[in-house]
Chain A
């Protein structure tokens, strides 16, 4: 049997608009995203183990329900990082230009890491333990991309 030689397409539709997914995170996300409009980052603190989740999450590994809103800072420490090489990722990203520097950052007051792009940074200058600050857009739109970019301080 030859499996490679032939591709057969069969037309079909999958009406995803009829699904109504339910995530508790989406309720919390609204408050979190709304705060970003005021250049504020908020998270949820767990009453059981004290862990602060940013972005907020309604369930903790200790089986408690984080329910206390706390504001964290927009300054952070780099926990880890990477930068892109010359790689085409699933045909979507050609890493041929300047390397994209991606860092795991832990905002001051948070216990979880968030991913951020470090702008205008030489990859050689990035190190675990260095500090960053969010590069806010002039008019934050209340989307997760408001805190997509950070810079070294």
Chain B
């Protein structure tokens, strides 16, 4: 893609364990701040896409209340029941249609309203898996982790290194929820075992928060102060977790291939300066390294050991702290886009990586990362 759509504004709320705000108020805060970031008014926005999920809110059509606080009243407005990163792709398509100039995308959820990891049961196969009670979001991820580890000989220590890196990075991000400066691999391994091999610090923290991103057409973005161009985007869905091999993220690999083709990426490890990966569980970041072509299949554990993905390494991953640092479900993948754009602009503050020109953002949805979307963002 050549200067057709750009990110021109972004905002994230503070990520909290128990926000003193409703979902609607978090949406409003993110929308208002994103407009300020873009230097626009509500009148300038022509289409709005919100990302929420009924099952997280415990009621149907819960997103009917996000129209006003997202700034969508009496505008073209649409809803996505997945992560906001998928909503961003939808918004890009609306802009590419030629009918819309500026799009607002918002993802939001409050984990403090439900028992942690419990709603994940609602996305399981309703005929067999819900009834049997063996699968939930964490046990499913544990099955994925074990399958991956046994296939490629990845160690607990290598997976714990992801948590240690991301939660240390999170300490530099003032919005992150789980900030743990200097966290060691040993401390991660000492954290409570949830479902083997997933420990508490390998799993996403229950988070309240919202993220908003403003996208614009090439013509409008060219006039913006700090456009971050969408160079490529790829989307792919996989089969249900019991009907596919869990040791590889095939749909992420295919999404990345489609994205790289548009963005002219032939050697991801050298052409990408920074990546924001949506890792709900620590092992998924290693699996994503492989699927995204940062290393060969099965070599994710060795890549984290090499230090390349540390914040001061050659290809920093999750300088923001990633989903392990804060995971407001439905906002998380969208926040990866906001963070990647922020790095390209140079506004990331204490977690800014110097000289980021090309950044990757990834969003996922569904049990064991069933659906994946990949973006390449860049300056001029």
Contacts and interface: CB of A to CB of B under 8 A. Distances in A.
**A and B co-occur in one complex:** yes
Interface of A: 1-4, 23, 25-26, 29, 53, 55, 61, 79-87, 89-91, 99, 102, 104, 111-115, 117, 123, 127-129, 144-145, 148
Contact of B127 (A26, A79, A128): A26
Nearest to A53: B243
Interface string B120-146: 000000111101101110110011111
6 contacts: A4-B20, A79-B246, A81-B146, A82-B142, A91-B115, A115-B129
Contact of A90 (B20, B115, B144, B194): B115
A115 B195 CA distance: 15
Contacts of A4: 18, 20
Given A90-B118, A117-B134, A144-B128, A82 B139 contact: yes
Contacts of A102: 134, 139, 143, 195
Nearest to A84: B195
A84 to B, nearest CB: 6
Interface string B80-111: 00000000000000000000000000000000
B195 A145 contact: no
Nearest to A116: B134
B147 interface: yes
Contact of B143 (A61, A82, A117): A82
B187 interface: no
B270 interface: no
A89 B138 CA distance: 10
A115 B115 contact: no
A90 B120 CA distance: 11
A80 B246 contact: yes
Contacts of A90: 115-118, 136
B193 interface: yes
A83 B194 CA distance: 9
Contact of B196 (A23, A82, A117, A129): A82
Contact of B192 (A55, A81, A86, A115): A86
Contacts, number: 101
B207 to A, nearest CB: 16
Nearest to B147: A80
Ranked nearest first, the 4 interchain pairs of A and B with the lowest CB-CB distance are A85-B193, A82-B142, A80-B147, A90-B115
A3 B239 CA distance: 40
Contacts of A104: 143, 147, 242, 246
B313 to A, nearest CB: 31
Contact of B243 (A61, A84, A115): A61
Contacts of A148: 132
Looking at B25, B195, B198, B239, the one whose CB has the most chain A CB atoms below 10 A away is B195
Contacts of B147: 79-80, 104, 128
B150 interface: yes
A2 B193 CA distance: 35
A75 to B, nearest CB: 18
Contacts of A2: 20
Contact of B146 (A87, A113, A114, A128): A128
Contacts of B151: 128
A80 B193 contact: no
A81 B144 CA distance: 9
Contacts of B138: 87, 89
Interface in B308-363: none
A86 B193 contact: yes
Contacts of B143: 80-82, 102, 104
B52 to A, nearest CB: 18
A83 to B, nearest CB: 5
Nearest to B148: A80
Contact of A128 (B21, B144, B150): B150
Contacts of A81: 143, 146
A123 B246 CA distance: 20
Given A82-B195, A85-B195, A145-B132, A29 B242 contact: no
A33 B133 CA distance: 18
A1 B142 CA distance: 40
Nearest to B129: A115
B135 A87 contact: no
A113 B127 contact: no
B271 interface: no
Interface string B142-175: 1111110011000000000000000000000000
B336 to A, nearest CB: 27
Contact of A87 (B19, B127, B194): B194
Nearest to B240: A112
Nearest to A83: B196
Contacts of B145: 82
B62 interface: no
Contact of A112 (B18, B139, B243, B246): B243
B73 interface: no
Nearest to A145: B132
